[in-house]
Structure 1
Amino acid sequence: MQGNSYSDLKVYGKSMSEQWFVGFKFYCAKRNKTKRCHQVRLGVNYQATVRGRIIEGESVRKVVERCLKEGWNPFDCDVKSFIQSQQVPNLNEIVSREDPRNLPFNEAMQWAYNKKDNKKGTLNGLRSGLKYIKLAASSLGFDNISIQGITRFHVCEILDEMKTIRQAEYDISTNKRYIGKKFTPNQYNAFLDRASALFFEFENRGIIEFNPCHKIAKKDEIDFGIHKHASAQEVDIIKRELPQKHAELYNFLRFEYVLGMRPDEILDTKFSMVDYLNSTINISDALYNNRGELISKTTAYRQVPVPGYLLDWIKERAAGGDPDRYLFSYKLKPGYHRLSRCWISMLWLEHVIEGLGINVSLYSFKGKGGDAKRDAGIDLAAVSAGYGHNNTSMARNIYLTGEGERLRNQIIEKAPDL
């Protein structure tokens, strides 16, 4: 006689607008009945992001699978009652088996990645770093070491092995992007930063006393000029030609230049986020987009100041329409579709880099606009705050390429004589 059985055990749910659950088909031999899609939630829907629900849903799926293997019959009771009946270890004991202190190194690093709640681009970088960390650790035989046994020595060895593995991939690649490519100090530093971000999860919880990445020296980076600022002549050509070729792309560029917002932040901006009374765009009013991803790089309260001339342009663009629309949607006009950053990059490549022959990135105009604000007399701290930075060092060192020249000119013009 056939016994109880289950199938199709998985997490159901895609967007924040619906209820998520772990579902499965269950056949009860005693009753000769099948439940087509039994649903278990166990707090999955308390998570505030899609990513959070995916992670929590997978944890619940493992709990449900364990209960089913231990004999739980959904026809007899719900899963909570079965857990509480002590017929299986309680939920806390099940979760404790995934305590990172009890996991081998590679699994512990995966656990740390799963704890991250960052922007999609940041998570992509972390995922790439995690991939090579695991490969390097396995190659060196470090993959089964406890996370508490990892020292700075192990991390340095892993970083060197990551470099070897990545260069070997370049050497055999047939992709035009990678043929002849060499692993750079910039990539080494990026891998170190990603490893440090993962180890932070252990340090923050007291699992390790110190982050082993903190005192590892970074390499001297190569400046490839990827985000070099456009010259005055190039800016003049863009201002003259781009409005004729693609007016909405020029509007997008102007928005980034004036406000210093990141392209993804602009694409996530809706008219409802504009505070016309206080002349600000309140990113904090919608920390997460419809896909459950962070709009800004942090969850800090942030208001982006909007000059009057640009606020008037936004009012005209809104034209009494639905405030739930994006400022830049299909064809870069107001609408309900959230564009991808990749699509904007393709437009920029077509109309500016190839169309006008000006090899500068769209993102470089964030810094270009910041330099223009400083030249107009706006304080460095104000420019930095507009970027959403906690201190001025990032704005000064990364975006404001003209800051050094401004400081030198101040000394030349204002230094007093003896």
Structure 2
Amino acid sequence: MRLSRSIFHEVLEAEYTKTNPFNDIRNLKVVKNISNVPPTDEEMRLICAELRKENYGFYIFYMLIYYCGIRPEELRNLKIKQLNFKTRSIELDAEFTKTDKYRAVPMIGNSFELLKNYEGCNPEYYIFGTWVPNGGRHSRKNWFLPNPYQINEDTPNRQWNKLIKIGLGINKNLYSGKHKGADDKREAGMDIKTICTIFGHSEIEMTERYMHSLKVERLEAAKNVKLKIF
């Protein structure tokens, strides 16, 4: 039971599902490890260089997690027709969002430039798809590209583990890119309410969960509070 709950906690953290059936089980402790902490700037440089080298489509996939806060499952279902280059936004269908609501996400950072080459592709193609039905075996360099079929649900995490966790020895999860994006947006001056809207969160408290730097700042501020000495 402990293992099942821990695994499901990671799935919930990546927002693949909306509820955790283990929430009502009281006396089991879930340990959060360092893989949930955002990558450092140096780790980000190494990660991005490796992804660009090994699979450029997967690099774009990761950049949309980082820049736009789009969940892996939303990206897996994303089609070319949902890219609005006039408004520079990505239109997410309510069917595939965690909140079951339509969401238009601005193309932040250089995501517009990364996606611009897809403008002339078949609008019904999956942006990060494969040409093999039912997720058959194929080489990495030709998937995570506009194609008629979806990649398997576990493909992004499996490739991340192979390329980044094992290949580079960086023990950070794929979804930690969203945590890094939240920290960097705040550092760049974006207010939390705006980040909350971009992420599609109903409450600011949910957005703050992704801000490791905010937690650190609050703990540092706590050290300077003057309390009575008894």
The two structures, once aligned, show a CA RMSD in angstroms of 3.1
Instruction: Quote the offset at 1:273 in angstroms.
Output: 1.2
- Tell me the secondary structure at the aligned position of residue 327 of structure 1: strand
Distance 2:216 2:112 in 1: 32
Match of 1:246 among 48, 52, 55: 55
Q: Which residue number in structure 1 is paired with residue 228 of structure 2?
A: none
Q: Which residue number in structure 2 is paired with residue 235 of structure 1?
A: 44
Instruction: Quote the offset at 1:225 in angstroms.
Output: 3.1
Distance 2:205 2:194 in 1: 13
Q: Which residue number in structure 1 is paired with residue 178 of structure 2?
A: 366
- Contact 1:272/1:324 (8 A) holds in 2: yes
Distance 1:229 1:218 in 2: 28
| Shift in alpha-carbon separation, 1:218–1:273, aligned structure 2, 3 A | farther
- Contact 1:327/1:335 (8 A) holds in 2: yes
- Tell me the secondary structure at the aligned position of residue 105 of structure 2: strand
Instruction: Quote the offset at 1:233 in angstroms.
Output: 2.4
- Contact 2:69/2:198 (8 A) holds in 1: yes
TM-score (norm 2): 0.75
Instruction: Quote the offset at 1:308 in angstroms.
Output: 6.7
Q: Which residue number in structure 1 is paired with residue 211 of structure 2?
A: 400
**Which residue identity is paired with 1:376?**
A
| Shift in alpha-carbon separation, 1:224–1:405, aligned structure 2, 3 A | closer
1:309 aligned onto 2:110: yes
Match of 1:375 among 158, 162, 187: 187
Matches within 5 A, 1:328-347: 328-330=128-130, 331-347=143-159
**Which residue identity is paired with 1:194?**
P
Matches within 5 A, 1:189-228: 193-194=20-21, 221-228=30-37
1:321 aligned onto 2:121: yes
**Aligned residue pairs: how many?**
202
| Shift in alpha-carbon separation, 1:335–1:182, aligned structure 2, 3 A | closer
Matches within 5 A, 1:11-410: 166=1, 193-194=20-21, 221-283=30-92, 286-288=93-95, 295-307=96-108, 309-318=110-119, 320-330=120-130, 331-397=143-209, 399-406=210-217
Distance 2:217 2:50 in 1: 30
The farther-off stretch of 328-337 and 223-232 is 223-232
Higher relative contact order (CA 8 A, sep 6+): 2
Instruction: Quote the offset at 1:287 in angstroms.
Output: 2.9
Deviations 1:304-350 (A, max 9, x none): 121373223322223x2221111111211111111123111121122
Q: Which runs of 5+ in 1 are unaligned?
A: 1-165, 168-180, 197-212, 289-294, 413-418
**Which residue identity is paired with 2:21?**
R
Instruction: Quote the offset at 1:222 in angstroms.
Output: 2.8
- Tell me the secondary structure at the aligned position of residue 371 of structure 1: helix
Distance 1:182 1:302 in 2: 32
| Shift in alpha-carbon separation, 1:341–1:228, aligned structure 2, 3 A | farther
Instruction: Quote the offset at 1:363 in angstroms.
Output: 0.9
Q: Which runs of 5+ in 2 are unaligned?
A: 13-18, 131-142, 224-230
Instruction: Quote the offset at 1:238 in angstroms.
Output: 1.7
Distance 2:217 2:107 in 1: 25
- Contact 2:5/2:22 (8 A) holds in 1: no
Instruction: Quote the offset at 1:373 in angstroms.
Output: 0.6
- Tell me the secondary structure at the aligned position of residue 356 of structure 1: coil
